[in-house]
Amino acid sequence: MKREPFTVRIATFRVVGSLPVWVSYEQGFFKAHGLDVKLVEFSGGSLSMHTLINGQVDFAGGLPQFVFALAGSQNIYLKLVHVTANNVPGNLQLIVRKDVQANSIEDLRGKSIGVHETSKDCLNCLSFLVRLSEIGFAPQQDFRIVKVPDVVMGDALSAGIIDAAAMIQPYASSAVKSGTGYPLMDERLGELGDPSTKLFGVPTGGSGLDTKVPAWLATCAYWTTEKYLNQNPEIVHNVARALADSSNWLMDPANREVAVETLVRWAAPALEAGEDSGADSKASADASFNTFFWKAYPDGYIDWKALQHQSEVMTQYGVLAKPIDATKLVSMPWFTPE
C-alpha cells in the first residue's frame, strides 16, 4: 500500500538562498522524497525564522548570524537542515569612489570605508575586517569604518559620505556600471568573497571548484527546531535529501537556463534591488550564478567547522558575547560532527 506523502510547511523569502527550495518544489524533488510541501512566503529571513520558532511553520530559511545570535542570547539551538547558498571568491568587492585615487589598500589609510550594516550582513562586514587584519592592518584604527545599509551603499559612495565601500553583488557591479566607483585591484586583498585564509570540510567535487569550502561559505540555510526534529526525524532527513538533489541539479550547467528562469519568477524584486531602474532581472539572476555555488549535504552538514569559525570571529568583533557550539546546530540522529 502506497504511503501518503508527509505534509510540511516551509517558510521562504525572496533571495538567491531560497533557490534550492523553489527548484525542489518545481522540479519534483520534494515529491520524490515523499513530501507534500506548502510554501509560505515572507519578505525577509528574520520574519520567516520567527514563524519557525513560534511553530507556525516546520522549516524556514535564514542567515546563520540570526541563528548564532539566538543561540548566544537565548540558548535556543535551531537545527541546520541544509545550506542553500554558498559564496564563491569575488562576491565581495572593494569599490573606491571615482574621485578618490587609490592603487592599493594602503592609499585608503585614514579614509572612510563603508561596510554592510552588521544587523543584516554581518558576515560580509566582518569578512572584510578579517582580511584587513590578516594582511597587517588594524581596521578600526587605520581606516574609518562606517556601517551602511546595503541598499544605500552606492548612494553613500556617490554622495561623498564614504570614500570606498566593501560591497556584495549586485551592488558592487551596479556602482561600477553607473560610474560611481571602480574596483580596487590589490593582490593582498585576494578575492574578498573568500576573505579568510581558513578552509574547512571536503572538496566541492563536481562544482568546478577544486578547493575546500571557505570559512565564510554559508550565506543562507534552511532550519528546523529541535522539537520538530525529535518528533519527525524521517521528514527532516527527506527534506535535506531533496535540497541536496536540487543543489546537485543547480550545479549542472545543462540546467542553468531553467534555474535562472526559476530565480527570476520567485525573486525578481530582490534581484532588482540596488540596480538601475531599467535593470534586467534575468541578467541579474544570471550574474548571481557567478557569485554563489551549491553543494549537496544529503546526510549532514559535514563542513560545520566553517560555522564554528564564523561564530569565533563574530565574538572577536563583539557581535556575540561568546562563541556558540556549532555542533549543536548540525548534529542529527544520522550525523555526528567530529
**Stated pTM of the model:** 0.81
Alpha-carbon span 128 to 244, nearest angstrom? 30
To the nearest whole number, what is the mean pLDDT of the chain?
83
Give me the pLDDT at residue 22, please. Answer: 96
Give me the pLDDT at residue 315, please. Answer: 85
Q: Which amino acid is at 54?
A: N
pLDDT digits (tens, 9 = 90+) for 227-242: 999 999 999 999 999 9
Cell numbers describing residue 291: 557569485
Q: How confident is the model at residue 329 (pLDDT cuts 50, 70, 90)?
A: very high
In contact, 96 and 163? CB cutoff 8 Å: yes
- Residue 116's H or E segment, with its range, is strand 112-116
Q: What is the CATH number of domain 6-88+201-330?
A: 3.40.190.10
Q: How confident is the model at residue 218 (pLDDT cuts 50, 70, 90)?
A: confident
Alpha-carbon span 107 to 101, nearest angstrom? 8
pLDDT digits (tens, 9 = 90+) for 190-199: 654 344 444 4
User: Does the pLDDT value for residue 143 go beyond 90?
Assistant: yes
**CB proximity list for 120: less than 8 A, separation 6 or greater:** 149, 150
Alpha-carbon span 149 to 241, nearest angstrom? 35
Give me the pLDDT at residue 177, please. Answer: 87
Query: Of 157, 214, 151, which Cα lies nearest the Cα of 183?
Result: 157
Q: 172 or 184: whose pLDDT is higher? A: 184
Q: Is the peptide bond before 170 cis (omega within 30 degrees of 0)?
A: yes
DSSP reduced 3-state for 324: coil
Residue 31: what are its φ and ψ, rounded to 5°?
Answer: -60, -40
Q: Which residues pair with 38 in a beta bridge?
A: 9
What's the DSSP call for residue 105? Answer: G
Domain 92-189, CATH homologous superfamily name and number: Periplasmic binding protein-like II (3.40.190.10)
In contact, 79 and 329? CB cutoff 8 Å: yes
Percentage of residues of the chain with pLDDT beyond 90: 46
Query: Of 243, 334, 229, which Cα lies nearest the Cα of 295?
Result: 243
Ranges of CATH 3.40.190.10 domains, the chain: 6-88+201-330, 92-189
pLDDT digits (tens, 9 = 90+) for 255-306: 999 999 999 888 765 554 444 433 567 777 787 777 788 889 999 998 888 8
Cell numbers describing residue 132: 584587513
In contact, 288 and 263? CB cutoff 8 Å: yes
Query: Of 122, 151, 139, which Cα lies nearest the Cα of 216?
Result: 122
Q: Is 75 exposed, middle or buried (0-12, 13-18, 19+ CB in 10 A)?
A: exposed
Cell numbers describing residue 162: 564614504
Distances (CA, A) of 148 to 101, 132, 170, 266: 22, 18, 16, 27
